[in-house]
Structure formats: C-alpha cells, structure tokens
Amino acid sequence: MTLFIAQTDGTTNFDLTQVQVDLLSITRVDTGLGFTENPTTAIESVTTVPVTYNRTENGATPTRIDDLVNDHGFTAPPHIVLFGVNDTFVLSDGTSLKGNGIAIPVGGSGNPFAHHVAALYDVTLCGGAGEWVDKEGGGTTQNTTDVVLYHELSHCFHFVTGTTASTSAAEEEAAETDENDMRDVRGLPHRDVHSHNGGCGGGTPSCCIVASLATGSPYSVEVATFRHYREHVLRGSDVGDDFFATLHHQYYAFSPEVVRLMGHRPELGSTIRGRYVMPLLAAVEMLIHYANERGSGLTRLLRKQKSRAECTDIFAPNALITLHSGLTLARAFAAQEPGSMTQTETASLAFMPVQKTSASSGETGTGPSDQMDELAALIDARAVRYGVLAWALLETVQLWTDAQLALQRGTDELEVGETLRATIADWLGRMPISDLWEEFSRLKAMAELEYLDQFMFDQRARTLFAQRLAQAVPRHATAAAAWAVVSPGGHHA
Amino acid sequence: MLEEPTVEFRRVTGRLTDDQVHITVRIHNPASRTLYAYETPRRIRYDAATATIVVDLNDEHVDADHPIAPHLPQPRFLALEAGADTLLRISLPRVLSRVRSADERQGEGPLVEQYPLDQAERIALAIAVQDTPYYYNPREPMATQLRAWGAQIARTEARINLTRSPRTSRERRDPGSPGQSPE
C-alpha cells in the first residue's frame, strides 16, 4: 500500500476531505475506493489516512490510482503522502504554494519527509481566484483541484517507479500528457503539453496591449495572429528571438503611453484600430501568406481582405491614401530625409481620423485634438526613429498599403503581385542585423541562415541580406555567400 | 534591459483584516518610460527576533533544482507609470504556515510551523523591476526566464504599524499616504 492522505501533524490540520473528493473524481467515482480513517497511520509523526482501492472502473486515471495503491509494476516503493493545503502555506525556504502543486521525491529539497514522497497542492486554487494554464491550440484553460492532484500523482508515479524523465522539461511534458487524461474525465480542454505556462486568476493576455485594447480583447482573432507570429516565426531562432526582444523593448517605450491616451479618450481606440492595428494585422497576414505560399496568391489575398467586414475602416474613401502619405513621410523622417513637415505633423497625419483627413476631397477638418497631437508626438519620438520598430511595424504596413492602393487604382493584378513580391523581397533583405551574428560560429551562422529560408526564399532577398551580413560581420561572408546562392525555391513570375 | 532598479519607495503602510495583512507600497518611477514590477509575493518569511516580514516579489531564489521550478506560476505584474507614483498592494496571510524540511524535522515534531505575520513591526521588500513586460517564451523554462527578467531588484525596509482600525475617508482615497516611510 503506497498512497496516504495527510490529516494532521498534531497542531495543523490538512484538507483531508478535498483530497478524498479529488481522488474519487480521478477514479470516476469508483465505489471500490476506500479511506481507512480508523485506525490512521503515522508516517514520520504525521497522521495519515491510507487509501485502499478495489478497482471497478476502467480508464487511464482509475488504473493509475490502482497502480499506486496496489503497487502494480513496482516493489517496495516509498510511500506517497498527499497534502491538501491552503494558500497560506509556504515551503521551508518561504516559497509560496499559492496556486501551485508540487511533488517532492525522497531526498528532494523542501521535502518534509526523510523517507517518503510528498505531494502538496493548493486546494483553494489561489485563494478562490482560480488557476489558468495554456490550452492546446492556443488560449488558456482553467485548472481544477482534481486535475492538479492528478498531475502531481503523475510525478509521484514516476518517482516511485524510477521512470522520471531525464530533463525537467520532459518530466513536465509527461505529467501534462497524463494530466490531459484527467481533463478528458472532467470534459475540460486539453493543456498544451509544450507550454508550461500558468498562474493565478483568469489568464494572462501575454500579448500586444495596444492591439488588445484596440480590438477589444486579448483573445481576439487579430491578437491571436500577432501572438502566433511571435511564437512561431519570430522566436523560432536565436536571431529571431533577439529581434523580438529589441522590438519588444522599443515597442514598450511608447505603447503604455498610447494605452494611457486611450484611457483618457476611448474613441481613440477605434482610430488606432482603423488607422493602424487593422492595416498592420492585414500586413502581417499578407507576410505570413507570402511565407506559407512561397509568394503565390498575394493579390487574391488582398482582394479577400477588402471584402471583410472588419476591414471596412481601412478601405473607407481616402483612408488608404491618408495612410500611404503618412507612412511615406514617416519613413522619410526615419531615414532623415530633409525637407517638408515636422515629424510630429507626419505621424499626426498617419493617425488622424478619416473624417479629418479628407483634404483631397475638398472637405475641411477641425484639426487633431490634444490627445491626437500627443499620440503623434509619442509615435514620432519613440517609434518612427527606431530602426527595428520602423522596419517591422511601419514598413510592413507601407508594403501592404501600396499594394492595396495599386489594386484600388485599377493596376493590373499580375503587375501588382510581381511588384509586391519584389518589394517584400527587398524589405526582407533589409532585415535589421542583430549583434548576435558577431557571436556566432560559422556553423551556428549557417543554421540561423537556414532558418531564414522559410521566408527568405526569393533570390533578391537572399542576395541583399547576404551582402549586408558580409559587410556587417566579414567573417560570415563565405557562409552568407554560400547560403545566398542556394535557392530553397519560391514563386517565379 | 534595465541596468539598475530606478524606482523610489515613498511610503509603506500595513493594515489588518479578518484573515489578512494588507501592505501598500507607494512607488515612484522617475524614468521617462513605464516600468513593470512583480505584484505577486513569491517568497514570504518571518524573522521572529526582529518581528520582520521578509517578502520577495521576485524569483531570484528559484534555481533549476528548486522544487517549484518546473511549476513556477507566472506572477502578476504592475505597470509603474513614467514620472508618477503607483500603489503596489499585496495581501499576506495573518498566520503563515511554513512546511519544515526533513533536515529540520529529523523525522519528528510538527510538520508545519506557524508564524504570526500580524505581529510584525517591520517589513522588508525585494521587488523585481524591468522596463518591458514579461512574456512567457515556450523555448525556455519559466524559472530561467523569470530570473533573467527580474535580475534588477529594488529593495526597501520599513516600520509598519499593523492596527485594525477602520479605514478613514483619507485612506479610502489614498491608502498610501498615512504610515511610515521607508528607511
């Protein structure tokens, strides 16, 4: 008999009942499950209740409890003692157990037992606030106490059977895979076993504060697109990860202030959404399509975007022209081209509401508000002049806007597609070069270059980027040149 | 990345409710950009000799071998507006239950030690601060990321007067104003 539930240490009582309820749930309310409360068993001065089990239910979760209680498949293991604790408990070093479960092997740091496995879990689920984890397929899902206990029992099973995975990440993945069996029993969505993210409360947006506010939700389709782009493209390599870190740092130099302005003037949200976030999301979609389809079908996608209800603002009369003008000027300032308007005026133009920017149609506007001026000044000071930010956020929108304008003006679709592919290739070839390249060995540099194949398949992009890399880090010139001449295959006009 | 914790602690106050100790910290961010701070207590200790609560709002102590490392939950973060004061509010249990280790217990004695945090006269806080928000990256263990993110830790220690007085109208408007300043 292996499994015990802690009842009391003589001064402190543990939540025996909740652990019993959770075990019942894990066994699918199997009547064969029993708890021997009289007599109890003392384990290293802790009063415990032994668990007994004559299994009558089938399935992975009852079978796991059967194995643990009746020692199937292993001999003379240490006991496993389960503790239902509340959110006031801490480990011996003071580490809070709030919103957590933990299984500690014999000899493990913080184990209160010298010879047995201890599993402690917060049965209050963060003092009632709930717990979230990343869900398979994106988003988050909630934890329940039986799911948390089953997860910890998976670790315990590995400890006592000597089947603990060789790395912490692999062990966690194994426990989360087991946990999904329990989620099936409860009818809960599966956890993403490749992510070990979680916490107290209802979930963390973890992405794109301005886009979340502008689109109304951190879980909107638009924000999910951003998040996917970040996790699956930007962070797929060391260079991409570093690029994201720089972009992140530059972006957060101004985005919290944008949010503050949106707080003062809620209607600014719709302006930002229509003027920038939606065009950016459409541009990101276009670039992902470019990578996935090797440059094919771009104009078809642009046409499809135009027909979407959520894109109405972008295609309002003069909206694209206004956006195009603002971006062109902003890029000119970013490149420090002389002449014309101040930077603030430039940024202001790009972000002015449609009804106030219809000079070309002869209408007059009342001019931007104080908040709009402040927004424009912010974007001028903290966005336009940052290289990575300008390349990643301004230039992408410009690529997209130029192509949509060309279609709007009736330019031949084949020509629009070919021009767009060429400008995307040029844009990719001008991707900012991270300082990390300096640190890379030749082998590592080749691996990073090969990672770029997934979107830098066009010969024009490869040649330009290789030239720039060779210039920036001369010792990678040979690797870059070798990479540039191998074409992984892309769209050919 | 932030090279040093630039925040200033202006006031630390505490008050009691039925089951909790509420600490309010007024933090000033003198920088020109928003900073982000841990809002979740990660490690709570009590020094009975000096009646001091020691609260870590950081994961500096969680190395790869720490039992919590594989399950480290994501903390909550507080945005500290540029050039302004922000109130950080944390809630602690009135009585902390500390699970003693096997080395301490030597196989006998209570498994749990109780600490009366509501008797505290002082509080020491160590808060991780950074100039970008934390985002989880599935490529790396959470503990590694959080330690790196929270490498800059701002510290303060202050006297607290944990009385259970009803809140005054001034406290309701600004719970950070009465009480003791950090030393």
Side-chain-side CA neighbours of residue B5 (13 Å): 22
Nearest to A200 among B45, B73, B96 (CB): B73
Chain A residue closest in CA terms to B83: A257
Q: What is the pLDDT of residue A76?
A: 66
B101 vs A contacts (CB less than 8 Å)? 92, 109-112
Give dist(CA A145, CA A152) in Å, integer: 11
Digit-by-digit pLDDT tens for chain A (493 residues) are 589 999 999 999 999 999 999 999 999 999 999 998 889 999 999 999 999 999 999 999 999 999 999 987 666 678 999 999 999 999 999 999 999 999 999 999 999 999 999 999 999 999 888 999 998 887 889 999 999 999 999 999 999 988 999 888 899 999 999 999 999 999 999 999 988 889 998 755 455 555 555 555 555 666 666 666 676 667 778 888 888 888 888 888 777 777 777 777 777 777 777 777 778 888 888 988 898 899 999 999 999 888 876 667 777 767 777 766 666 655 555 555 444 444 444 444 444 433 333 333 333 333 445 666 666 676 666 666 667 888 888 888 889 989 999 998 899 999 999 999 999 999 999 999 999 999 999 999 999 999 999 889 999 999 999 999 999 999 999 999 999 988 775 444 3
Give the residue, B54 or A317, on which the prediction is more confident.
B54
Tell me, yes or no, whether B175 lies in a domain: no
Say if CB B111 and CB B99 are below 8 A apart.
yes
Within an 8 Å CB–CB cutoff, is residue B48 touching chain A?
A: no
CA distances (Å), origin A444, targets A3, A441, A451: 49, 5, 11
Chain A residue closest in CA terms to B65: A109
| Residues whose CB is less than 8 angstroms from the CB of residue A120 and which lie 6 or more positions away in sequence, other chains included | A83, A85, A89, A97, A101, A102, A104, B99
Within an 8 Å CB–CB cutoff, is residue A459 touching chain B?
A: no
Within an 8 Å CB–CB cutoff, is residue B166 touching chain A?
A: no
Cβ <8 Å between B41 and A96? yes
* Closest CA of chain B from A434, distance in Å: 16
Nearest to A252 among B93, B101, B133 (CB): B133
Q: Residue A468 burial (CB < 10 Å; 0-12/13-18/19+)?
A: middle
Cβ <8 Å between B64 and A168? yes
Within an 8 Å CB–CB cutoff, is residue A167 touching chain B?
A: no
Nearest to B33 among A93, A120, A253 (CB): A253
Opening angle at CA A88, ends A52 and B117, nearest 5: 145
Please tell me what DSSP assigns to residue A474: G
- Interfacial A residues in 39-98 facing B (CB < 8 Å): 44-46, 85-97
Cβ <8 Å between B34 and A256? yes
How many domains, chain B? 1
Within an 8 Å CB–CB cutoff, is residue B30 touching chain A?
A: no
Rounded to a whole number of angstroms, the CA Rg of chain A reads 29
CA distances (Å), origin A453, targets A309, A425, A450, A465, B120: 34, 12, 5, 12, 60
Cβ <8 Å between A94 and B45? yes
Within an 8 Å CB–CB cutoff, is residue A129 touching chain B?
A: no
Within an 8 Å CB–CB cutoff, is residue B49 touching chain A?
A: no
Q: What is the pLDDT of residue A365?
A: 38
Tell me, yes or no, whether B183 lies in a domain: no
Say if CB A318 and CB A324 are below 8 A apart.
no
Going through chain B in order, the beta strands assigned E by DSSP cover 8-16, 20-29, 35-38, 43-47, 52-57, 77-80, 84-93, 95-99, 112-116, 122-130, 153-159
* Closest CA of chain A from B6, distance in Å: 16
Cβ <8 Å between B34 and A200? no
A374 vs B contacts (CB less than 8 Å)? none
Residue showing tokens 């909107």: A220
Cβ <8 Å between B61 and A95? yes
Q: Among candidates B85, B1, B66, B98, which has minimal Cα distance to A90?
A: B98
Cβ <8 Å between B73 and A111? no
Q: What is the pLDDT of residue A314?
A: 74
Tell me, yes or no, whether B2 lies in a domain: no
Say if CB B135 and CB A248 are below 8 A apart.
yes
Element (H or E) spanning A59, and its range? none
Residues A472, A477, A483, A485: what is their CA dihedral angle, to the nearest 10 degrees?
110
Tell me, yes or no, whether B105 lies in a domain: yes
Q: CB pairs below 8 Å between A and B: how many?
A: 168
Within an 8 Å CB–CB cutoff, is residue A390 touching chain B?
A: no
A91 vs B contacts (CB less than 8 Å)? 67-68, 98-99
A196 vs B contacts (CB less than 8 Å)? 70-71, 138, 141-142
Q: Among candidates A148, A204, A201, A199, which has minimal Cα distance to A176?
A: A148
Tell me, yes or no, whether B91 lies in a domain: yes
Within an 8 Å CB–CB cutoff, is residue B107 touching chain A?
A: yes
Give dist(CA B149, CA B58) in Å, integer: 9
Indicate which of A86, A90, A111 best probes the interface with B, i.e. most B CBs within 10 Å of its own CB. Answer: A90
Give the residue, A303 or B165, on which the prediction is more confident.
A303
Domain range for B119: 8-169
Helices A298-306, A278-292: crossing angle, 10 deg rounding: 150
Cβ <8 Å between A199 and B101? no
Handedness of CA A279, A280, A281, A287 (dihedral sign): positive
* Closest CA of chain B from A8, distance in Å: 9
Tokens in use for A313?
């603002």
Indicate which of A123, A168, A196, A212 best probes the interface with B, i.e. most B CBs within 10 Å of its own CB. Answer: A196
pLDDT tens by residue, B101-114? 999 988 788 999 99
Q: What is the ipTM of this complex?
A: 0.89
Cβ <8 Å between B131 and A252? yes
pLDDT tens by residue, B55-77? 999 999 999 889 899 889 999 99
Q: What is the pLDDT of residue A417?
A: 94
Q: What is the pLDDT of residue A341?
A: 43
DSSP notation for A244-263: HHHHHHHHTTTHHHHHHHHH
Residue showing tokens 């399935």: A59
Say if CB A372 and CB A348 are below 8 A apart.
yes
pLDDT tens by residue, A76-133? 678 999 999 999 999 999 999 999 999 999 999 999 999 999 999 999 999 888 999 9
Tell me, yes or no, whether B181 lies in a domain: no
Give dist(CA A15, CA B163) in Å, integer: 31
Within an 8 Å CB–CB cutoff, is residue B40 touching chain A?
A: yes
Say if CB A83 and CB A9 are below 8 A apart.
no
* Closest CA of chain A from B122, distance in Å: 17
Cβ <8 Å between A44 and B112? no
Give the residue, A243 or B98, on which the prediction is more confident.
B98
Cβ <8 Å between A204 and B131? no
Cβ <8 Å between A91 and B98? yes
pLDDT at B121 over 80: yes
pTM, whole model, 2 decimals? 0.76
Cβ <8 Å between A45 and B105? yes
Within an 8 Å CB–CB cutoff, is residue A374 touching chain B?
A: no
Tell me, yes or no, whether B180 lies in a domain: no
- Interfacial A residues in 189-218 facing B (CB < 8 Å): 194-201, 204, 206-207, 209
